Chain A
Amino acid sequence: MTTTLQLRTLDAQPRHHAARPRPRGRGHRPERRFGVLLIAPYAALLLVAGIVPTGYAVVKSLQNESETGFGGISSYTRVAGDFRFLETFANVGLTLAIWLPLMLAVVVLLALLIDARPGRFGAWMRFVYYLPGALAGIANFMLWLFLLNPGQSPISFLWHGFGYRNLSEVAQPGNLPVILAAMLFFQGAGTWVVVLNGGLNGIPDTLLESARLDGASAWDVAWRIKLPLIRPWLGYMTLLNVAYGFQLFLEPQVLSQVTHGMISPQWTPNQLSFTYAYQILDTPAAAAMSVILLVITLALGLLIVSRTRLFDDGR
C-alpha cells in the first residue's frame, strides 16, 4: 500500500497523484488553459514584485559608485568591507540559532500532543496556541513593547528578577537575540502548530493502527512514524523561518527607536542595506547587500529542500 500525502507545493501546477491514468488529449487542454488563467495574477505579481526588483538589484549592484557605468564587483567589496558587515550576520545568526531549534522542538511537541488528543480538547488547545500568532506584525510588536517594559509589564517580576528597571535595560544589545527569538517564536509558533497538525491529520489511521498492533509505544509511533512523514512540513517551516530570520528588519529597527538609539541602527544585514541606500546614498552597495542576502537564503533554502526532500513525490 502506498501512502500518498497531499503536499501543498510551491510550484504553481497542481500535482497529479492518482493512480488512474488520465486520458490524453480529451479534457486536457481546457484544463491547462484554466490552470494558466488561475496562476496568471500570481505570475504577474511575482514578476512585478519579485523578479523585476531582483533583476534591478543585480544590475544595480554591478554599477560603479556614482551609478554611471559598469563597476564589476566593486559594490560587493565595498559592502563586504564595511566594519559592520560580519557583525550583522553574527547577530541574525545568533537569533536564528536560538529561535529555530526552539521553534522546531516546541512546535513539533505541541502538534504531536494535539494529535494524540483528538476531539474537543485538542481542538481547543490548538485554538489557544494559535491566538498569539493571530495578531499582525506591528500589533504584536506593540504588545511586546508592553511586555518588555518593567514599568508596565504583567511579567515585570521577571525583569525585576534580572535587576532591570526600565525598557532600556531590558532591551540591551546583548539581550536582543533572546528577545527577538522569543518575539518571533510567540508570533509564529501557533500558526505552525496548526499547519503541522493538519499534516499529522493526513496520516492514515490504518498505518498507526498496524504500528500499534506491531507493538509500537506512543513514543515509537511519534518518533518513527509520524515525524518522518511530516518531514516535508518541517522542511517547509524551516525554509520560511530561515528566510524571514535572515531578512529581519522591523523589530530591531523599532526597538532601536524606542530605546533612543541603544541598539545599533545597523544590527541586521537588511538594516545595513537600508543604511547604504538611504543614508550613505550608495545604492549599488545596498543592492549588492540585497543580492548577497538573496544568495545566502537561496542556498540555505536549496539545502533545506534537498535534505527534507520537500518536493519529492510521496512514496
Chain B
Amino acid sequence: MSTAPVRTRNRSEIRARAAATALAAAAVFALPGCAGGADNHVRDSGGPITVWVDPPRVPAVDAFRKAYPDIPVQVTTINGNVGSTELQQKFVLFNQAGKGWPDAIFFPSNDDIAWAASSKINYVRDIGQNLGDIIPEYPASVIAQCRIDGRVRCLRNDAAPDVLWYDAELFRQWGYLPPATWEDYERLSLAIAQDHPGYLTGFLGDAYAPDRYLWASGCPTNERISEKQVRIELTDNRCTRIRDLLTRLVDAGAVSPSGIFSPDAAALGRRLAMSPGAVWWGNFLFRDTWKVDPGRITAAAPLRWAGDDAPTTSSEGGGLWGFSRHITGVQLQNTLTFARFVATDPRWQVELSVGLPAYGPLQQPWLTKQRQAGYLAKFDTAAAAFVLASTIVRSGRDYTRYNTGTVWTHTITPALTSGQPFARAWDTFGQRLTSEARSFGYAVRAGP
C-alpha cells in the first residue's frame, strides 16, 4: 500500500525535523536567563502619572484631576475582588520586562502589600521620608501594617476597625441592650436564636470572617516574625476560646454559613440582629447593598473579652495605597502630590470616600458629613465607637504572602454549607493554613 517514495520522504523529513529541533534548542538556550529578581530601574516621564484603582476608588482619581488639572493622570480600573491573584501576576511580568509599573496603586486585598514589599517583587517605595509629615497623624494601630522591617511601605486609605453593629429597632422591641463583651455576645446570640428564630447574629462564610473573629481574639494566624518566618498557633487559648464560642453559635443556628458578599447575603442581612463588623458595613452593606431602612442600624463599641486587660478589636480591610520605587524627578513629585491628595484631602476622604478616613484629622469632618446623611440611628454613640475602634486595633496580625481568608473560605465555608461540625472544619483549616504558609516558603513557628 505505502509505496517506495516513503523512504526518501522520511529522510528529508528527518533532516527537516532535526533542523527544527536544533533551531528550537538554540532559541531556548539563547533566551536570557530571567532571574525574576526585582528591577532597580528608575524613570522620569517628565510629568504624566499612571494610577491603578478599583471601582470604588475611581472617584478619588476624578477628584484629583479636578483639583490638579495640570497633572496628566492615566487611570486603569482593576479587579476589586478580595483575594484575587491577578495583580501579582502582572507585577511578576513587569519585573521581568523592566517596565509597566503604575506610579500609584490601590491594593484591593490588604495581603497584596506582602508581595509588593517582598524582596522578590520589591515594588512599593519607602514613603517614610517623602511623606514623613503626615505619617504621624495616623492612629498608630491603623498604619502599623504599613511599617515593614522599619520602613513605611504604604498608606492606609480608610480605617476599617470592627465595631458591634446592631439593629436598634429590634433591640428596642425585644428589650435588649447591646453586649459589651464576647461572653455577653454569645449569651445574647443563643437567646435570639431560641426566642426569635430566623434572625442572625453573624456571618461566617466570607474571607473576612477570620479577621472578624480570630484577629479580634488575638489568635495568632498571621504573626510575621520576619520575611521568612511566621507564627501560627491555633492551639493557643486565644484561638480555642473563639473556636468554642463559634461552635456553640453554629450549633444553635445563630450564625450563617454564608458570607457578607454572598448573593443571599442581602436577604440575610435584613434579618441581622447584631454582628461584629467593620466601620464600612454601615454604608457599603447595610445602606447600599442590603438596603436596610434608615434609622434602624447603629454601632456600639467593639466587643472585648472579659478576661483581657485592655479592649482591643480587629480590622476588616481598609485599603492600602502603594507608590512605585521605579520613578524619580517630576513623575515622582506628581505621584507624591497624588499621595498627599488621596491621604489627606477632604475632597476625597470626606466628600466621597465611603469609609472612615485613616488620616486622623479628617475623621471628625467625615463623621459630621455622615451625621448629615442621617442613615444611622443613635449617631453619636456610633461615631464614638468608630473613633475608639480605630485606636485599639490589635497588633500581631500582619499581612503575609498567604491569605488566611482564602484558606477559610475553602475549608470552613464548604464544611458549614454541607452541615459538617465546626470543630472538624477548624482542624482542617488549621492544617491547611500551616501547609499554605509553608508552601510560600515561610518557616512556621508554633511557640512564642
Interface residues of A in 149-164 (CB under 8 A from B): 149, 151
Q: B92 touching A281 by the CB < 8 A rule?
A: yes
Residues in chain B near residue A169, CB distance under 8 A: 417
Q: Give 4 closest A-B pairs by Cβ, nearest first.
A: A261-B409, A55-B28, A278-B89, A83-B435
Q: Among A16, A67, A257, A262, which residue has the most Cβ atoms of chain B within 10 A?
A: A262
Interface residue stretch chosen among B18-26, B63-71, B329-337 = B18-26
Is A120's beta carbon under 8 Å from chain B?
no
Is B150's beta carbon under 8 Å from chain A?
no
Distance between Cα atoms of A77 and B238 in the complex (Å): 36
Residues in chain B near residue A264, CB distance under 8 A: 410
Distance between Cα atoms of A244 and B155 in the complex (Å): 45
- Between A and B, 17 residue pairs with Cβ closer than 8 Å are A19-B1, A22-B3, A32-B9, A51-B20, A52-B27, A55-B25, A56-B28, A83-B432, A166-B264, A168-B258, A172-B414, A172-B417, A260-B207, A261-B406, A262-B414, A281-B36, A282-B441
Interface residues on A, range: 35 or more
Is A111's beta carbon under 8 Å from chain B?
no
Residues in chain A near residue B259, CB distance under 8 A: 260
Q: B439 touching A16 by the CB < 8 A rule?
A: no
Residues in chain B near residue A63, CB distance under 8 A: 33
Is B310's beta carbon under 8 Å from chain A?
no
Given A55-B25, A281-B121, A265-B85 contact (CB < 8 Å) = yes
Interface residues of B in 70-86 (CB under 8 A from A): 81, 83-85
Q: Among A59, A166, A168, A174, which residue has the most Cβ atoms of chain B within 10 A?
A: A168
Q: How far does the Cβ of A142 sit from chain B's closest Cβ, in whole Å?
A: 16
Distance between Cα atoms of A256 and B207 in the complex (Å): 13
Is A167's beta carbon under 8 Å from chain B?
yes
Given A52-B24, A83-B435, A262-B417, A16-B2 contact (CB < 8 Å) = yes
Q: A24 touching B418 by the CB < 8 A rule?
A: no
Distance between Cα atoms of A24 and B4 in the complex (Å): 9
Total number of A-B contacts with CB less than 8 angstroms? 121
Contact residues of A: prevailing secondary structure: loop
Q: A165 touching B264 by the CB < 8 A rule?
A: yes
Residues in chain B near residue A283, CB distance under 8 A: 34, 36
Is B373's beta carbon under 8 Å from chain A?
no
Q: How far does the Cβ of A128 sit from chain B's closest Cβ, in whole Å?
A: 33
Type the 1/0 row for B402-436, where 1 means its CB is closer than 8 Å to any CB of A.
00011001100110011000000000000010010
Q: B88 touching A278 by the CB < 8 A rule?
A: yes
Given A83-B439, A262-B410, A67-B34 contact (CB < 8 Å) = yes
Given A83-B439, A281-B115, A28-B85 contact (CB < 8 Å) = no
Q: How far does the Cβ of A18 sit from chain B's closest Cβ, in whole Å?
A: 9
Given A56-B28, A260-B207, A261-B409, A280-B5 contact (CB < 8 Å) = no
| Least CB separation from B87: chain A residue | A278
Among B16, B25, B120, B414, contact of A281 (Cβ-Cβ < 8 Å)? B120
Among B88, B263, B410, B417, contact of A261 (Cβ-Cβ < 8 Å)? B410
Type the 1/0 row for A246-273, where 1 means its CB is closer than 8 Å to any CB of B.
0000000000110011111100000000
Is A43's beta carbon under 8 Å from chain B?
yes
Is B440's beta carbon under 8 Å from chain A?
yes
